[in-house]
Amino acid sequence: MTELKLLQCRLDGRYDIEDCLGRGSYAEIYLARDRAATDERFRYVVIKALNVLLQGYQDLDLESTLIQNFHNEAVALDRVRHPNIISRLGHGTAIDLTSTAFHYIVLEYLSGGDLSALSRREALGLDRALFYLQQICAGLAHAHECGVIHRDIKPQNLLLTADHQIVKIA
């Protein structure tokens, strides 16, 4: 497993990488401060970095497919702009501190955590659960109207604003 070396670096002269939030099979998620942000809501962002080497080997066909899927994700996020769907703020290609090239997507940061963590900490109750479910359904309905199918709805992909009043599909 080869992880990207991004902590404490500045990505594309703009994003100061502050923390690694997690890793999946082919992507690493980082919290970054956007030095160019003019809107305080987007001062902190999430960098989703595609890392085709996380599995410990390189497969050029798989890499090509993953890059295409990553591009498709960015395009889909642009097509489904909605208050209950996470916003894509940018994208690009960069190199890490060891000169490894990678593709990335910049997403809005939601500091309220995910619905899974919230429901483990406290019981939601029927009214609150329905409050969140209504927002999730609104986001999904909009995505479906735009021809986008999510295919991975789960509590970990349902992110909350700091005040826990808005849920967004990631």
Tokens of 60: 């050029």
Query: If DSSP codes are grouped into helix, strand and coil, which group holds residue 4?
Result: coil
Handedness of CA 120, 19, 79, 86 (dihedral sign): positive
152 in catalytic set = yes
Cβ atoms of 139 and 168 closer than 8 Å? yes
- Catalytic residue of the set 39, 127, 152, 163: 152
d(CA 54, CA 71): 19
| C-alpha 111, offset from chain centre | 12
d(CA 118, CA 142): 25
Which residues are identified as catalytic? Answer: 152
